[in-house]
Amino acid sequence: MNRICRFFFLITFSTLLILSKVFITEIYAAPTNDKKIEERNVMQLESLVNTLENETQRKNLVEKLKMLIAVQKNKNTEATNIGLTKKIFSALSDSLQKFVSEFQILSDGVALIPIKLSLFKDNFTNTDWKSENLIFLWKIIAAIFGALLVYYVVREILGASRLRLETKETKFFWDRLLTILARLTIDLLPITALLLSGTILVEFLASSARVSNLGATIIRALFVAGILMVTSRLLLSPAMPDLRLLRLKDVDANYIFVWVRRLTYVGVYGFALVQIINHLGAPNEISTLLFKIVGLFFALMVSVLILQVRGTVADVIKGKKGEKKVLLVLRKRISSVWHILALFYLFALYFVWALQIENGAEFLLRGSVLTALILIFGYLSAVGLSQFTRKIFALRVEVKRRYPSLETRANMYSPFIQRAGNGLIFIIVCIFLLEAWGINAFSWIASAQGKDFINSFLTIALLIVITVIVWETSSALLERYLTSSEKVSARAKTLLPLLRTSLLVVLSTMIILVTLSELGLDIGPLLAGAGVVGLAIGFGAQTLVKDIITGIFILTEDQIAVGDVVRISSHSGMVEQLTLRTIRLRDLAGNVHIIPFSEVTTVENMTKDFSRYVFEVGIAYREDTDEVTEILYQIADELQADEEYGQLIVSPFEVMGVDSFGDNAVNIRARITTKPIQQWKVGREYNRRMKKRFDELGIEIPFPHRTIYFGVDREGNAPEGKISLTETKISRHPPPRGRSKQAYRNKSSVPSFNEDDGVLDGD
């Protein structure tokens, strides 16, 4: 609130500055010689009458007027065809030329100051002039002294009442309001008494218009300064926080009050002093120069105020952290340079006023007010657009349930639409700002060049909108088909995303070509050049071309599809995505493998149409293979009858028979056919049940081991197995680093097999 109030007061004093300068400009307008102008007008009218009465001169005049009309039409036609940028620079050039001419006039006036000062000095030494001005000054001093005496008497009478109001406690609203009104009345009474008494005394003592004007100037200055101070004291109340209308801290209230007093004294009393000097008979050039010096000092004071509050106002423009801000980037940029813009505007206003450019102050005032209104309109439009886009893109719960990805897509386009809308608002605001500052932008829009530009802009915008609608509609339909339908083939899952990508490429190419065409570029040479560049790229990027061609054949032949589990070279995993150039696989560990089609020589598809799980069942040599085969069929029948796994099996269980004799087991090969990708799930469940059944029936599933054979003699007797056990002394040395004492102690007692003598020895 404190920052906003400071910003408000800054704008208020700038407005007062503008109004004061407009008022002063009109008061001190350069006098004109009306009598010479009237004589010149009479002579011109008489010459015109003589021309019309003479037939030959009248015909010549008509021909000249026709020629001027034709020339003016040609100028208007050329002016309408001038671009907007040229119009802007032309307006700036005209303004600069006027500025230079006015500055030259001011320089000529300043050059006459020494001559005027010498004349003023001669008049000052004149005895008659001295006596006349002494009487004049005595009457003015008497009137002002009397008015000030009345002011201080009334103020002293009301002082006790004012002191009681300042010390009075106000707990309730109505009590506070009555106290504020009473204090305002007490503050206004002395100033009103000053105005009334001063006006009466000036009129009573005035013997000439000169005395009346000078006295009225002083009384008016005192009254205006008093009113401004009473108003600031009413709003800020620096000494009484309870009666303060604005919610400000004591420091901020006193800061603003001090600046109000400074600007009031300089602005009111400074300009009044210059008027007094002028009424005393000083030359107009000196008065004008002093007047502009006071105005410059006033502008410098306002610039100091701007620099002091630049950080506070910048924070107000940026806004508080966490709040939703419209045009965030623009506000940040303005907050960092607003003081520069304000200083530029302030001194531009001063120079327009100081150089007395015709209608300059009015032009700046009108442009400033219109600029403020246009910027407020633009800000409100941006806020309304933000709320409108937020509401229009809000989806109901049923729509979110039916189209899960629609909210994500809507949120993706919402910022784009908002930025496009903000851009359009920015363009409209700029056009109106140009109009506000005298640059006729609407005439350029109405010209042939402007109409062509708008038509091209609307064509491009309409094409973009139609393209986005086509793209989003097709994407939504494809996505809904792929997600909602349960019987979508793997081929459809593979080719439809590629179709969507191809559609995006076609639409983007079409937008680019039409945009270039609407901008006036001939796309024929561009297409030819693109063909040549494409051919060069084709020769230079043969691997890329090979990737695309190989990919097209693999996709059209339906060798692999999204969701298949494949092995390509040394890489294996599930196919996640297929493009025209690469295959993306994700393995069991979650690693992603991206393989260009040009590196694909052999594809091992493990889930094409159906899948099979192959078993290698190893049993001990002493087990009956026929009995084990029967048990395998029983387990398969149980799995087939299972509610969860039975629907995954597509053909009966097959036992191919005894496949091989291993070192420690007899291997029986079997297989089971399942739906694609389900072979591992079914196979693992079969292995689990087979292990449990073999354990129940006591069927041995051998594990890797070695049988030691000692051999037999001719009579069939085996030799004795000689085993020698030796006691190993425990070392008192600590065990090696990294081993426990028990492991080190057990190391010496582990038996080892010696193949040479066929006995078990200790170490």
Element containing residue 754 per DSSP (H, E): strand 752-754
Lowest mean pLDDT among 179-193, 321-335, 640-654: 321-335
Please say if the pLDDT value at position 28 is more than 90: no
- Calpha distance 507→324 (Å, rounded): 35
The predicted model gives 636-660 an average pLDDT of 88
- Calpha distance 254→233 (Å, rounded): 10
Closest of 158, 156, 272 to residue 213, by C-alpha: 272
DSSP 597: G
- Asked if 306 contacts 10 with a C-beta cutoff of 8 angstroms, the reply is yes
Three-state secondary structure call for residue 566: strand
For residue 123, count CB atoms less than 10 angstroms from its CB and return exposed for 0-12, middle for 13-18, buried for 19 or more: middle
Closest of 199, 250, 245 to residue 222, by C-alpha: 199
Kindly give, in sequence order, each residue whose CB lies less than 8 Å from that of residue 343, ignoring residues fewer than 6 positions away: 303, 306, 307
pLDDT of residue 484: 63
Confidence tier at 634 by pLDDT (50, 70, 90): very high
Please say if the pLDDT value at position 749 is more than 60: no
The predicted model gives 529-558 an average pLDDT of 70
Element containing residue 668 per DSSP (H, E): strand 666-674
- Calpha distance 524→521 (Å, rounded): 9
130 vs 582, higher pLDDT: 582
Please say if the pLDDT value at position 763 is more than 70: no
- Calpha distance 302→259 (Å, rounded): 9
Where would I find the H helices in 33-172? 34-53, 55-81, 84-111, 113-124, 127-157, 159-167
- Calpha distance 257→236 (Å, rounded): 7
Write the pLDDT tens digit of every residue in 106-124. 555 555 556 555 655 555 5
- Calpha distance 486→517 (Å, rounded): 45
DSSP 265: I
pLDDT of residue 630: 92
168 vs 154, higher pLDDT: 154
The phi, psi pair for 142, rounded to 5°, reads: -65, -45
Write the pLDDT tens digit of every residue in 237-260. 777 777 777 777 888 888 888 888
pLDDT of residue 689: 92
661 vs 478, higher pLDDT: 661
Residue found by looking up tokens 């109106």 in the block:
432
Write the pLDDT tens digit of every residue in 365-382. 788 888 888 888 888 888
Percent helix, strand, coil in the chain, to 5, is 70, 10, 25
DSSP secondary structure, 136-197, as one string: HHHHHHHHHHHHHHHHHHHHHHTHHHHHHHHH----SHHHHHHHHHHHHHHHHHHHHHHHHH
Lowest mean pLDDT among 252-266, 637-651, 711-725: 711-725
Element containing residue 661 per DSSP (H, E): strand 654-661
CA distances from 437 to 16, 365, 366, 374, 432 (A): 21, 10, 8, 12, 9
Write the pLDDT tens digit of every residue in 43-54. 666 677 677 777
DSSP secondary structure, 372-392, as one string: HHHHHHHHHHHHHHHHHHHHH
For residue 548, count CB atoms less than 10 angstroms from its CB and return exposed for 0-12, middle for 13-18, buried for 19 or more: middle
Confidence tier at 410 by pLDDT (50, 70, 90): low
Please say if the pLDDT value at position 192 is more than 90: no
Confidence tier at 686 by pLDDT (50, 70, 90): very high
The listed range with the strongest mean pLDDT (142-146, 352-356, 475-479) is: 142-146
Mean pLDDT taken over the chain? 73
Buried b or exposed e, range 434-466, using 16+ CB within 10 angstroms: bbbbebebebbeebeebeebeeeeeebeebeee
537 vs 757, higher pLDDT: 537
**Angle subtended by helix axes 328-354 and 2-27, to nearest 10:** 30
Element containing residue 753 per DSSP (H, E): strand 752-754
The listed range with the strongest mean pLDDT (4-13, 92-101, 281-290, 330-339) is: 330-339
pLDDT of residue 596: 86
